[in-house]
């Protein structure tokens, strides 16, 4: 049995290690914020001390205004929020209906169809994206919002995750409701959905954030700058205007803060989501 | 006015009605699934056997793309790049396990640490890659400044063919180590029976023995799962990071397979060829998944 002194030593050492690691994780963010508040000339200078680069004097807020204008942040925000919200609503709505059906309802071919869903989950997204792009082209959906949103609604993950969840709910409540004379839609809406809040919220958050951060699909679908999402706008700016770091850091801060806020408010759903298998790394 | 239920008694649904209900429920999702997921998957197989520049008509060429692929020097080079970047996987998995083991003890403020450690994963994306591009900037970036302060002249990082890939591994490590894998390990650690450790203590086992003989085997299912998922992800991934930080360079030293697909499919619009590359990746993923299924039971040991 390790002695109490040894225990305290290990705990203290662990705390030190964890703190160092924590600082290492946070340092890039600190620099991001510091640079966004620095004046351009100071940010690029060499020969100034490390610590002073973390605490710019004086604080220069003009980068945010500059980024807002040059990067068109307002438009980027609007587009990203719209696309993310639409995709999330579509995904959660259709996936919950389908997930419930696969979990509870019996119909011929149900399990075969579900296997098809599972099979496509294994397919790398690159395989799907090429024909999908061609389809968008044929539909005339390139460079449109619907081209960005609609295909993203129909990934199999949501259905899979919710089906697993629905199967885990005890069916007594639903049976009771049916005996009381509720039709299926009623049972689904009034009984099952309220019970499923955790899973639904988790799916909502994950879908929203995945769409917010998505880069590849917007990159190939969107061409008009006024329709760009945040990822696309930032990347294009970097490529076309070169590394104007102070502006870019301000833009980065603005693009990142919403993610952090959502995360801080909804932390437990992330842990849940990982357990439910909603995370697609 | 009669209520609707008198005309259509919902509580007396026949078997057939229930079946129709099933189809109705899945209809919106299933239609979308057919058109936007399953359809494309099947189409990809067809496209890969064609030569198709999107403006012209597709031309069936059988295995032509695959033959060309096997002889394509850049393809093999980029495969090497992809595999090289995947060297970071064992590092980050061990890192996550390390952090999980330490965090698992009842440390004051554990929740704060968990939150902070998850931040990189949460924010990962184009914005964060832009941030790292600056951090790693050889002239203006803090990392080289830090190295300079202790007398080391830092390398050119993303601009140096030798250092670019290690730099990408570093960024990926930072992004991933405190994230989902660590959470999974924490969960797995909570499921380890504490009595095992107590018995080991009584036998006088040291920390390393306890880890190697108890902890490591007990979390091996998680380790296995994470490893397979990471490999599958690693084969397809890194596009965002590569695009933002290096654009595949310098000199093609960071181009990965997903980047090659983008170049071929969306820069030169050689759709058939790009589809062939994608299918090649899929094939490997399939093999790995099958191996996982078959041999998963043996590698995992209690």
Span B279-298, pLDDT tens digits = 999 998 888 888 877 776 66
Contact status, residue A82 vs residue A145, Cβ threshold 8 Å: yes
Asked if residue A276 has pLDDT above 80, the reply is no
pLDDT at residue number A281: 35
Residue B51, beta-bridge partner list: B59
Per residue in A116-167, pLDDT (tens digit) is 988 888 888 889 999 999 999 989 999 999 999 999 998 888 898 888 888 8
Asked if residue B85 has pLDDT above 90, the reply is yes
pLDDT at residue number B279: 92
Asked if residue B3 has pLDDT above 50, the reply is no
pLDDT at residue number B165: 92
Q: What does chain A come to in residues? A: 281
B241: pLDDT confidence band, cut at 50, 70 and 90? very high
Mean pLDDT, chain A, as a whole number? 84
Nearest CB to A245: which of B140, B247, B281? B140
CA A27 from centroid of its chain's CA atoms: 23
Nearest CA distance, B166 vs chain A (angstrom) = 18
Nearest CA distance, A19 vs chain B (angstrom) = 8
Asked if residue B6 has pLDDT above 50, the reply is no
Contact status, residue B22 vs residue B13, Cβ threshold 8 Å: no
pLDDT at residue number B118: 92
B17: pLDDT confidence band, cut at 50, 70 and 90? low
Asked if residue A48 has pLDDT above 80, the reply is no
pLDDT at residue number B75: 92
pLDDT at residue number A164: 87
Residue with tokens 């494309």: B40
Residue in chain B lying closest to A98 (CA): B26
Say what percent of chain B tops pLDDT 90. 34
Q: What does chain B come to in residues? A: 302
- Give A-chain residues touching B275 at CB under 8 angstroms: 127, 130-131
- Best probe of the A interface among B30, B126, B128, B207, by most A CBs < 10 A, is B126
| CA gap B136, B245 in Å, rounded | 10
Contacts of residue B45, Cβ cutoff 8 Å, sequence gap at least 6: B279
A195: pLDDT confidence band, cut at 50, 70 and 90? confident
Contact status, residue A109 vs residue A169, Cβ threshold 8 Å: no
Contact status, residue B130 vs residue A248, Cβ threshold 8 Å: yes
- Comparing CA positions, the residue from B263, B256, B262 lying closest to residue B242 is B256
Cα–Cα–Cα angle for B129, A254, A245, nearest 5°?
55
Q: Mapping DSSP to helix (H, G, I), strand (E, B) and coil, where does residue A120 land?
A: helix
pLDDT at residue number B301: 53
Test B11 with A263 for CB contact under 8 angstroms: no
Average pLDDT, integer, range A79-95? 94
């Amino acid at each position: 049995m390790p002695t109490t002194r040894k225990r305290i030593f290990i705990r203290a050492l662990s705390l030190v290690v964890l703190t160092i690691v924590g600082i290492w994780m946070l340092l890039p963010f600190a620099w991001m914020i510091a640079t966004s508040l620095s004046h351009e000339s100071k940010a690029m200078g060499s020969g100034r001390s490390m610590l002073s680069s973390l605490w710019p004097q004086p604080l220069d807020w003009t980068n945010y205004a500059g980024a807002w204008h040059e990067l068109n942040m307002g438009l980027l925000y609007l587009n990203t929020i719209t696309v993310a919200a639409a995709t999330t609503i579509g995904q959660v709505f259709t996936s919950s209906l389908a997930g419930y059906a696969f979990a509870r309802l019996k119909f011929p071919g149900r399990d075969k169809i579900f296997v098809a869903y599972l099979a496509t989950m294994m397919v790398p997204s690159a395989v799907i994206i090429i024909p999908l792009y061609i389809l968008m082209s044929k539909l005339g959906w390139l460079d449109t919002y619907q081209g960005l949103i609609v295909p993203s609604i129909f990934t199999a993950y949501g259905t899979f995750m919710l089906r697993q969840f629905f199967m885990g709910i005890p069916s007594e409540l639903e049976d009771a409701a049916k005996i009381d004379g509720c039709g299926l839609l009623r049972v689904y809406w009034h009984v099952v959905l309220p019970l499923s809040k955790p899973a639904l919220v988790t799916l909502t958050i994950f879908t929203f954030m995945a769409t917010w951060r998505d880069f590849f699909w917007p990159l190939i679908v969107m061409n008009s700058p006024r329709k760009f999402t945040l990822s696309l706008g930032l990347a294009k700016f970097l490529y076309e205007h070169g590394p104007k770091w102070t502006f870019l850091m301000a833009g980065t801060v603005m693009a990142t803060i919403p993610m952090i806020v959502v995360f801080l408010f909804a932390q437990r759903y992330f842990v849940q989501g990982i357990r439910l298998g909603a995370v697609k790394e | 006015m009669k209520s609707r239920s008198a005309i259509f008694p919902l509580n007396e649904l026949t078997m057939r009605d229930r079946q129709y209900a099933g189809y109705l429920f899945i209809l919106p999702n299933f239609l979308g699934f057919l058109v936007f997921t399953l359809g494309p998957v099947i189409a990809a197989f067809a496209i890969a056997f064609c030569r198709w520049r999107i403006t012209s008509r597709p031309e069936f060429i059988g295995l032509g793309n695959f033959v060309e692929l096997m002889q394509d020097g850049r393809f093999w080079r980029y495969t090497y790049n992809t595999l090289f970047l995947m060297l970071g996987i064992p590092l980050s998995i061990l890192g996550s396990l390390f952090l999980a083991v330490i965090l698992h003890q009842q440390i004051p403020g554990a929740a704060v640490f968990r939150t902070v450690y998850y931040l990189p994963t949460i924010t990962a994306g184009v914005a964060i890659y832009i941030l790292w591009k600056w951090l790693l900037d050889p002239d203006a970036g803090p990392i080289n400044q830090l190295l300079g302060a202790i007398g080391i002249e830092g390398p050119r990082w993303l601009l140096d063919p030798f250092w670019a890939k290690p730099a990408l591994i570093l960024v990926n490590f930072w992004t991933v180590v405190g994230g989902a894998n660590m959470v999974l390990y924490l969960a797995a650690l909570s499921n380890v029976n504490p009595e095992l450790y107590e018995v080991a203590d009584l036998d006088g086992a040291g920390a390393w023995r306890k880890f190697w003989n108890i902890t490591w085997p007990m979390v091996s299912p998680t380790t296995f799962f994470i490893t397979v998922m990471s490999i599958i992800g690693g084969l397809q991934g890194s596009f965002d990071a590569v695009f933002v930080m290096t654009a595949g360079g310098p000199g093609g030293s960071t181009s990965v397979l997903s980047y090659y697909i983008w170049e071929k499919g969306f820069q030169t619009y050689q759709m058939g060829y790009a589809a062939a590359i994608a299918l090649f990746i899929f094939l490997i993923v399939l093999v790995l998944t099958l191996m996982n299924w078959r041999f998963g039971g043996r590698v995992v040991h209690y």
